[in-house]
């Protein structure tokens, strides 16, 4: 017998030897009976778990085979983690799941559950708000009857029908294989990545970034519970839960009593994202808010080659306040199922978070290129092999008299043959054919529908919603309030957004009771209640994670990041999670979100780098992300309406970057002129004032024939002041406010630049990696042949006090740059 496992062939040979050596039980047991007197699983159900585990194992072997001749592109397998099939069996197939990349057996079992009951009800349950504990789960494990012909006799002859056992898992196997070979027919990511996900299975695709999906899981739990409570209240009034507004509204995607399951590896407990997620779940639990999330830590003791110290994972998980701890041995399928069912029932009944610590092993290393012998001894490998969960399930089946080792080996071989046959089929399937195919699912833009959504909102606000709007504004709608500042205009637009989007929620640090540190959200909680406007804990990863989960659950989240510099603590939640959801799911899942960020520099007498951050390069680098920068009050409201409509219509992820220094600015040219104020349009004017994504605004000063200044944010005000000075010198200027940093308004840039032949790019961000680089590149790509020059911030952090003037753009520097350009 082999002493260790270093190759797929080794693992296959060892498993065969194990099955061949299993002694037959003294008597056969009816598969309908429990496998032991007190076991929660029948023989038939345990056999289904075995089939799911074997399918996953054979998929791992097929992945290594495909890689051996260059046709497989993903070899992180699930071997040793197949106990997660029992976790899937302990849940309902309508419980949304975010899965670890070693969750092959879970995926196979979930797919078989849904195949056995292809249309599980998602209608609101009739349970009271205090959900009762039920047996969710064992009935959901596909029974032997679901995978063999009715003509087949019961008893021992059932288990010999190996092909029938695989039939329930064939679709799941094909899904996984298509992901491995990057087939464009793969049902979730379409060949863009190998992920576990399918909308009809309620499995949300996740990236390979360690623990980055855990904050989203917390947000999903918060949203599921909030929607459940709203649905309960709606049923009492006959209303029910609606997601979105207008004709496009739909029911919430999961049943009201659903729980969220989120699996991850043991090394992930050390990651900042995991710490944030656990802390947030516990924090909300301590505060009395309910988060029905079951975290599942699949602990194999290794993070690639780095060992988790003995006892560390358990000590860490047990110490998480507000999170109930459960543990099970992943080499014992009955115990795993029983504890998982207990944990799931506890979360479902109490609507509170829990963690299931599942002790597993890792077989065949981290991935195809990993040579475990470099950091693990043969004795360690042999110990892990002795805890092979698939072999453990086989032993239990044989000991219980449900099957013989020979019969199970026949099932194993037949599944292997079927998986290999499917692998050969998917090899011939098409791949993504070009860049257009790759990006097609990334971030759809339907500007006509967005404009229509704005028009519909205006019609509702001036029609059937007029009374509610008047009440929300205390009888004085904002259009009657006179000229407004930027902050006041954003506040009014947020209120109008809350009225038009019932599932919109505004949250972040200090946004509720205080109304934001700059008063931008002042009064919103009083108007719309603490369920829709609420303060969060001080952790940007968690703030964005709540938004990610809430958007996925059907809400329209508007989280606030208090300062741009603080966003960098959590930027992967936007890059790796938010922006990739449509990319990895071809639009089957989406996380609409409008992230408000107070940012950029020029705060007088306050701050330094952390309150005057001018770094936006990391945002502009994220594919599909919309970045809006309103400079003036009369742009802020329509741009915010556009972002909300785009999120609702297209599922867009928008960053609404608000220049702090302009929040309360009133004047443009001279003190008291009020030229930076603007009136708020009544709903009847929203359509005429609609600002599409990617369209600039042009100001013409003087003849506007001599010079084009392209800028944004604080640069707009400074450039207009500089243009006024130049006008006195006889220079006519066009000041182009980009308004959108992504996508850039390229057509407007080219048109306005070509009109004068002289372009001055005023970029308040940094010279290296700043917005100006993108503008100049757009001009070059379009064949612009005129003169061009940049005025940009110095490559420096923004210092405290007057020293900031040395590294930031000024109106004087713009004027000087224009004169130099004109002198050429």
Catalytic residues: 611
Q: How far apart are CA 610 and CA 798, in angstroms?
A: 8
Q: Report the relative pairing of strands 740-742 and 593-599 from DSSP bridges.
A: unpaired
Total Cβ atoms within 10 A of residue 350:
16
Q: How do the residues of the chain divide into helix, strand and coil, expressed in percent and rounded to 5?
A: 45, 15, 40
The overall longest dimension of the chain from CA atoms, in Å, is 105
Contact 653, 591 (CB under 8 A): yes
- What are the start-end ranges of the H helices in 69-169? 84-89, 104-116, 144-147, 162-167
Q: Which residues pair with 293 in a beta bridge?
A: 260
Q: Report the relative pairing of strands 293-299 and 302-303 from DSSP bridges.
A: unpaired
Phi first, then psi: give them for residue 343, nearest 5 degrees.
Answer: -65, -45
What residue ranges in 348-487 does DSSP mark as E strands?
354-359
| Edge-to-edge strand list for the sheet holding 707-711 | 697-701, 733-737, 707-711, 758-766, 787-793
Q: How far apart are CA 399 and CA 394, in angstroms?
A: 9
Contacts of 79 (CB under 8 A, 6+ apart): 11, 56, 57, 60, 362, 363, 364
Q: How far apart are CA 87 and CA 770, in angstroms?
A: 48
Angle at which helices 405-427 and 389-399 pack, to 10 degrees? 140
User: What is the three-state SS of 648-666?
Assistant: HHHCCEEEEEEEHHHCCCC
631-662 CB burial, b ≥16 within 10 A, e <16: bbbbbbbbbbbbbbbbbbbbbbbbbbbbbbbb
Q: Report the relative pairing of strands 697-701 and 733-737 from DSSP bridges.
A: antiparallel
CA distances from 444 to 55, 192, 447, 591, 741 (A): 36, 16, 9, 13, 17
Q: Let me know if 122 is exposed, middle or buried by CB neighbors in 10 A (0-12, 13-18, 19+).
A: middle
Sign of CA dihedral 128, 130, 133, 139: positive
CA distances from 297 to 96, 97, 147, 390, 659 (A): 17, 13, 31, 19, 42
CA 651, distance to chain mean position in Å, is: 12
Total Cβ atoms within 10 A of residue 58:
26
Total Cβ atoms within 10 A of residue 69:
8
CA distances from 420 to 4, 77, 414 (A): 25, 16, 10
Token representation of residue 720: 């207009």
Phi first, then psi: give them for residue 434, nearest 5 degrees.
Answer: -175, 180
What residue ranges in 360-457 does DSSP mark as E strands?
none
CA distances from 622 to 231, 457, 576, 627 (A): 36, 30, 9, 10
Contact 187, 514 (CB under 8 A): no
Q: Which residues pair with 307 in a beta bridge?
A: 302
Phi first, then psi: give them for residue 657, nearest 5 degrees.
Answer: -90, 115
Contact 487, 676 (CB under 8 A): no
Sign of CA dihedral 670, 672, 674, 676: positive
């Amino acid at each position: 017998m082999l002493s260790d496992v270093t190759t797929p062939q080794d693992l296959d040979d060892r498993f065969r030897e194990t099955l061949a050596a299993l002694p037959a039980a003294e008597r056969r047991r009816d598969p309908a009976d429990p496998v032991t007197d007190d076991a929660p699983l029948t023989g038939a159900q345990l056999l289904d778990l075995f089939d799911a585990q074997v399918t996953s194992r054979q998929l791992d072997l097929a992945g290594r085979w495909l890689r051996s001749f260059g046709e497989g592109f993903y070899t992180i397998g699930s071997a040793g983690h197949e106990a997660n099939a029992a976790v899937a069996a302990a849940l309902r197939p309508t419980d949304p799941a975010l899965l670890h990349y070693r969750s092959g057996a879970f995926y196979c079992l979930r797919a078989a559950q849904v195949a056995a009951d292809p249309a599980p009800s998602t209608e609101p349950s009739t349970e009271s708000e205090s959900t009762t504990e039920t047996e969710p789960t064992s009935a959901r494990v596909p029974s032997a009857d679901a995978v063999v012909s009715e003509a087949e006799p019961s008893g021992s002859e059932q288990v010999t029908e190996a092909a029938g056992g695989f039939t329930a898992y064939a679709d799941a196997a094909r899904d996984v294989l298509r992901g491995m070979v990057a087939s464009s027919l793969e049902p979730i990511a379409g060949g863009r990545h190998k992920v576990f996900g399918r909308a009809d299975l309620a499995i949300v695709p996740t990236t390979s970034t360690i623990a980055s999906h855990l904050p989203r899981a917390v947000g999903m739990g918060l949203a599921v519970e909030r929607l459940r409570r709203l649905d309960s209240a709606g049923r009492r009034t006959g209303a029910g839960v609606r997601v979105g507004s207008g004709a496009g509204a739909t029911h919430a995607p999961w049943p009201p009593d659903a729980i969220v399951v989120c699996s991850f590896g043991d090394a992930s407990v050390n990651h900042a994202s995991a710490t944030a997620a656990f802390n947030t779940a516990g924090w909300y639990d301590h505060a009395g808010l309910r988060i029905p999330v079951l975290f599942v830590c699949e602990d194999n003791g290794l993070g690639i080659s780095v060992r988790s110290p003995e006892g560390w994972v358990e000590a860490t998980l047990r110490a998480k306040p507000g999170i109930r701890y459960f543990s099970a041995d992943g080499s014992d399928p009955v115990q795993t199922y029983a504890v998982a069912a207990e944990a799931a029932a506890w979360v479902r009944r109490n609507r509170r978070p829990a963690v299931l610590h599942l002790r597993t092993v890792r077989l065949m290393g981290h991935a195809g290129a990993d040579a475990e012998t470099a950091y693990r001894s043969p004795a360690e490998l042999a110990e892990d092999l002795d805890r092979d969960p698939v072999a453990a399930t086989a032993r239990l089946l044989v000991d219980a008299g449900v099957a013989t080792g020979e019969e199970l080996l026949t099932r194993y071989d037949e599944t292997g043959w079927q998986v290999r046959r499917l692998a050969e089929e998917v090899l011939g399937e098409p791949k993504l054919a070009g860049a257009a195919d790759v990006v097609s699912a990334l971030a759809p833009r339907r500007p006509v529908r967005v404009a229509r959504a704005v028009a519909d909102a205006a019609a509702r606000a001036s029609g059937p919603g007029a009374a509610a709007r008047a009440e929300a504004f205390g009888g004085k709608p904002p259009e009657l309030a006179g000229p407004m500042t930027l902050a006041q205009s954003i506040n009014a637009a947020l209120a109008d957004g809350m009225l038009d989007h019932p599932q919109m929620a505004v949250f972040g640090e200090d946004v509720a009771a205080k109304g934001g540190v700059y008063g931008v959200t002042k009064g919103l909680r009083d108007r719309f209640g603490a369920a829709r406007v609420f303060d969060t804990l001080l952790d940007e990863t968690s703030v964005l994670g709540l938004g990610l989960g809430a958007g996925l659950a059907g809400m329209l989240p508007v989280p606030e990041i208090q300062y741009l510099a603080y966003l960098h603590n959590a930027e992967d939640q936007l890059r790796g999670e938010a922006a990739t959801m449509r990319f990895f799911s071809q639009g089957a899942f989406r996380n609409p979100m409008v992230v408000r960020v107070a940012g950029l520099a020029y705060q007088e007498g306050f701050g330094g780098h952390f309150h005057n951050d001018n770094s936006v390069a990391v945002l502009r680098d994220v594919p599909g992300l919309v970045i809006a920068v309103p400079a003036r009050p009369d742009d802020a409201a329509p741009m915010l309406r556009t972002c909300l409509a785009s999120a609702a219509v297209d599922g867009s992820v928008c960053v609404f970057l608000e220049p702090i220094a302009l929040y309360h600015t009133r004047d443009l040219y001279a003190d008291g002129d009020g030229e930076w104020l603007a009136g708020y349009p009544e709903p009847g004017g929203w359509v005429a004032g609609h600002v599409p994504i990617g369209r600039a605004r042009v100001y013409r000063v003087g003849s506007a024939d001599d010079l084009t200044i392209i800028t944004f944010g604080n640069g707009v005000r400074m450039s207009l002041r500089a243009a006024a000075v130049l006008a006195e010198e006889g220079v006519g200027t066009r000041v182009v406010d980009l308004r959108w940093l992504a996508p850039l308004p390229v057509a407007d840039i080219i048109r306005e630049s070509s009109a004068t032949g002289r372009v001055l790019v005023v970029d308040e961000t940094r010279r290296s990696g700043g917005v100006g680089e993108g503008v100049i590149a757009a001009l070059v790509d379009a064949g612009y042949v005129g003169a061009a020059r940049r005025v940009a911030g110095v490559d420096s952090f923004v210092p405290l006090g007057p020293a900031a003037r040395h590294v930031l753009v000024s109106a004087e520097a713009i004027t000087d740059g224009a004169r130099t350009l004109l002198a050429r």
